[in-house]
Structure 1
Amino acid sequence: MYQENAQTNDYREQFRIYKAEQRKKKIKKLFKDIKRGKYVYLLMIPGILYFIIFKYIPIYGLQIAFKKFSYQGSFTSGEWIGLKNFYDLWEAPEFWRAFKNTIVISFMRIALGFPVPIILAILINEISLTKYKRVIQTVLTFPHFLSWIVIGGIAFNLLANQGAVNNFLELIGLHRVNFLMNPASFRYILVYSGVWKEAGWSSIIYLAVITSIDPALYEAATVDGANRYQKMWHITWAGMKSMVLLMLIMNIGHVIEGNFLQVYFLYNPVVYSTGDIIDTYVYRLTFERGVDFSFTTAVGLFKGVINLVMLMTANTFASKYSGQRRGIL
């Protein structure tokens, strides 16, 4: 018995030594990789710092969602009130209106706007003239660099009661429609102004994926008698499908993010019923009705939890669709 125990202890000691050696090898390999790609890691530092400073450190402040915020003392010294802010959130009808609008607008963006850059990328890829292709890409990408203040001014000049569109409607004998003050049309204005601004820019990533597809596949398909549409479906689309799925998951993961600047510069009290989102609701609570950082932090925490649930749900469906055990993330 004593010999068996001694032998077992020897095996354990050998296994411990083996694991320690493997750990040292992994650490040594890690430092070698870092040294070999040191310039790449240096380029990553600003991005890493951004996420640490603006994404991870603020997590510490989420505790005020469970406290009564006071300007006296530090922000962590408030009275502990538990879930009271969340109860108040649950009973606030304006919040649920904003929550509903945020969800509806976000899914409208996905349904009506998400396919546009994919289609643009496929169509641009089919253009054979290089110069013309570059001109098209430049024209479609340019709106991305305009701020929402500028786009809000353009929308006002086009769609307001005295705007260009209404002047044209009157010219052809139709009635004027103030689109920006019409709750029924406001959501579509948000969706399509966002598509106009970002579709060209978003198509760049899909074009990059398309250019990585082996040209020999197209040549082989041509030899086999495939027409242009068959090559687009069986080669181009098949090659970019995984990236489309990844981008879809990322969009769903930000479904509660309603693009505050866009809505803020386009909406008005008349369209609150269909255009007020969570971010603009929090903004009004914070800067127009009096400061209540505890309640608005509770709203932000609620947003984060919903985003996490949507992201994990989308990733689960993606794993089933793609056949991968862990999905895309």
Structure 2
Amino acid sequence: MSVTTSDLPPPSRASRRWGTGGILLLAAILVAGVLLGPKLFRWALLDAVFPWSEAASCDGPGACWLFIRERLPQFIYGYYPAPSRWRLNVGFLLLFAWLALPLLPRIRRRAAVTVTGAAIGIAAAFMLAAGGVLGLAPVETDQWGGLFVTALLSITAMIVSLPAGIILALGRQAASPLWRGLANMTVEVIRGVPLLAILFMAVVLLPLFVPGGEGIGLFTRVVVGLCLYASAYMAEVIRGALRTIPAGQAEAARALGLGYWRCLSLVVLPQALRAALPNIVSTFIQVLKDSTLVLVVGVYDLLGVVQLTVSDPKWNSYSAEAYLFAGLFFFAICFGLSRVAARIERHLDYNRTSST
């Protein structure tokens, strides 16, 4: 029996209302683009003073990108001593090398290798930046800042949150009431508290509850707080993915003689991580953007250095250029993460289709 459009029920009022609202929002965006687009284009490009321009000053009506060139070292390195900035350049290579690991054919299906390689890169970047080893001069963390701090904080939280989130997600499904209760309490408490409160608690309370905590620096406390925050949200992502795996697969694996951990590592987790990949990347992007809140507790990441620079009366007239530069950076990193995840997802779907 064929079904015609007259046989279908009419759309509800809610669907019509949301459809109209979406159309109005799109129309408003188009109108704003038509009205503001030419002005923004003229300000940012046509009337702008670029770093290679011959103009010695920025007295025109356009953007002054000379300001970005003058302050770029501070945006990237913060107040790190100039003779030692080569250490941060090596640290950048180590931090961002983990993005290329999943693209390598022999490694893209080995999450443990990727996480381990990223952890080694993070540890090496910390050692290079802090110094005090291998004959490197020590540099206090209050001199760190800019793009390097943003990358170090966010990538550390991303890498720590994945195994920690898996452990917490498994703990929430554990048979033991003790472990299940501890995991539930940890995740729900952290997810129920704003990130700013977590950062303040890490800065103020961590030295009180950890033996020898007085020697823990401010930067380390902030890293701990951000990792706790990211791990709690990652645990919910992994838990939701674990619930999509049919229980019969684990039962079949155990019937074949596989123990709990081998069943988990060979059957359940690979499928769960594949299903959770889009949400994992979304959590990574959220962590990258939320890392800008460390400015409130006195750690100057890229946005913090930008804000500190434009607060100077000498540079406050260039705040639009500075914030636009920071926004373009965050967009480029978030877009790059989403493209890497999309490529991995297409590869996994292709392998699954070809195997069937």
**TM superposition score category, shorter chain reference:** 0.5 to 0.7
| C-alpha distance in structure 1 between counterparts of 2:222 and 2:254, whole Å | 42
Gaps of 5+ in 2: 49-59, 78-145
Distance in structure 2 (CA, Å) of the matches to 1:265 and 1:150 = 11
CA contact (8 A) 2:75 2:305 kept: yes
For residues 271 and 237 of structure 2, the distance between their equivalents in structure 1, rounded to whole angstroms, comes to 13
In the alignment, is residue 117 of structure 1 matched against residue 165 of structure 2? yes
Take 1:48 and 1:193, find their aligned partners in 2: how far apart are those partners? 41
CA-CA distance at 1:120 after TM superposition: 1.8
Amino acid at match of 1:110: M
Secondary structure at the aligned position of 2:215 is classed as coil
Unmatched 5+ stretches in structure 1:
1-24, 69-77, 171-175, 181-185, 268-274
Q: TM-score, normalised by structure 2?
A: 0.57
Selected match of 2:224 from 167, 192, 203: 192
- Of 121, 129, 140 in structure 1, the residue corresponding to residue 187 of structure 2 is 140
Does the aligned pair in 2 maintain the 1:249–1:311 contact within 8 Å?
A: yes
Q: Which amino acid aligns with 1:293?
A: S
Is residue 312 of structure 1 aligned with residue 291 of structure 2? no
Of residues 295, 300, 318, the one that matches 2:327 is 300
* 1:229-244 to 2 correspondences below 5 Å: 229-244=261-276
Q: What is residue 102 of structure 2 aligned with on the other side? A: none
Deviation of the 1:88 alpha carbon: 3.1
2:148 match: 100
**Cα distance in 2, alignment partners of residues 134 and 39 from structure 1:** 40
Shift of 1:122: 2.6
Distance of aligned partners of 1:196 and 1:103 in 2 relative to their CA distance in 1, 3 Å threshold: closer
The answer to whether the Cα contact below 8 Å between 2:241 and 2:276 also exists between their aligned partners in 1 is no
1:297 maps to amino acid:
L
Q: How many correspondences in the alignment?
A: 260
Distance of 1:245 and 1:107 partners within structure 2: 17
How has the CA–CA distance of structure 1 residues 300 and 116 changed in structure 2, closer, same or farther, with 3 Å as cutoff?
same
In structure 2, the partner of 1:128 is 175
The aligned runs of 1:73-88 (5 Å cut-off) are 79-81=61-63, 84-85=64-65, 87-88=66-67
CA distance in 2, matches of 1:45, 1:145: 34
State how far apart, in whole Å, the 2-side matches of 1:194 and 1:321 are: 30
Per-residue Cα deviation, 1:225-255 (whole angstroms, up to 9, x for no partner): 2211122122320221213432443356568
User: Alpha carbons of 1:259 and 1:211: their partners in 2 closer, same or farther (altered >3 Å)?
Assistant: same
- Aligned: 1:285 with 2:301: no
Q: Does 1:211 align with 2:255?
A: no
2:200 is the alignment partner of 1:153: yes
Match of 1:177 among 210, 215, 221: 215
Decide whether the 8 Å contact of 1:109 with 1:191 is kept in 2: yes
1:90 paired residue number: 69
Distance 1:315 1:153 in 2: 36
1:115, 1:231 → 2: CA distance?
Answer: 17
Counterpart CA distance in 1 for 2:171 and 2:150 is: 31
Q: Secondary structure at the match of 2:11?
A: helix
What is the alpha-carbon distance in structure 1 between the residues aligned to residue 23 and residue 169 of structure 2? Answer: 30
* Cα separation, 2, equivalents of 1:317 and 1:47: 32
| CA deviation map 1:150-203 (0-9, x unaligned) | 3343233335xxx5258x439xxxxx52522xxxxx1x4333212223423331
Deviations 1:77-117 (A, max 9, x none): x8235xx42x4323421112112222222222222223211
1:285 positional shift = 3.5
Q: Looking at both structures, which has the greater relative contact order when contacts are Cα pairs under 8 Å and sequence separation is at least 6?
A: 1
1:279-305 Cα shifts (integer Å, max 9, x gaps)? 212322344553433312233234323
